[in-house]
Amino acid sequence: MSASEMSRRMGDISERAVRYRVDRMIEDGVIQISAVVSPEALGFNIKADVWLEVEADAVLEVAKKMAAFENVTYVACGIGQNDISIQVVAKDTSEIYYFVTEVVRKVPGVRKTTTSIVPIILKDVYQWRVPERIAKELSENETITASK
């Protein structure tokens, strides 16, 4: 959305002020502006969550290896039953099966995997919105800073 459209929708803030606030949030690391590729548009219609149980001294090394695969869209290290969580995209379930059994399980340090096909995603990180109370606090802090 353009700064002029944001200004118009908000009603009480100029386009210039919108641009300033957006630039400041980018500089402060609060937001990033980037293109988001839709795997489905490229034929990657199957998603799977894969949890990895890994040898204790190999967690970060295995996680970094997982992050290097092009078909892995998410990698996180956890505390609990599973050491690493990844999300994989593929054109069909046989690609998922091959990747998990012939690639992931053969990475040194991986002891066990658990895979779940994900047929529906109701919300992902790109749909997350700042909670209203936090947005209000940010807006109030911005007003205080601008008036100084």
Has residue 136 been placed in a domain? no
Would 137 be classed as within a structural domain?
no
Q: Do residues 47 and 23 share a domain?
A: no
Whose CA is closest to 104, among 42, 39, 60, 54? 54
Find the CATH number of the domain harbouring 99: 3.30.70.920
Per-residue model confidence (pLDDT) at position 147: 53
CA 58 to chain centre: 23
The pLDDT value given to residue 145: 57
What pLDDT, in 10s, does the model give residues 18-53? 999 999 999 999 888 888 888 888 899 999 999 999
Residue 146, in any domain of the structure: no
Element (H, E) at 145: helix 132-147
**What value does the mean pLDDT of the chain take?**
89
Q: Let me know whether 13 and 73 are in one domain.
A: no
- Interior/surface letters 88-98, b for 16+ CB within 10 angstroms, e for the rest: bbbeeeebbee
pTM score? 0.74
Q: What is the pLDDT of residues 107-122, one digit of tens each?
A: 999 999 999 999 998 8
Domains of the chain: total? 2
Domain that holds residue 50: 39-117
Verify that 68 and 84 share a domain, yes or no: yes
Burial of residue 141 (CB within 10 Å: 0-12, 13-18, 19+) is exposed
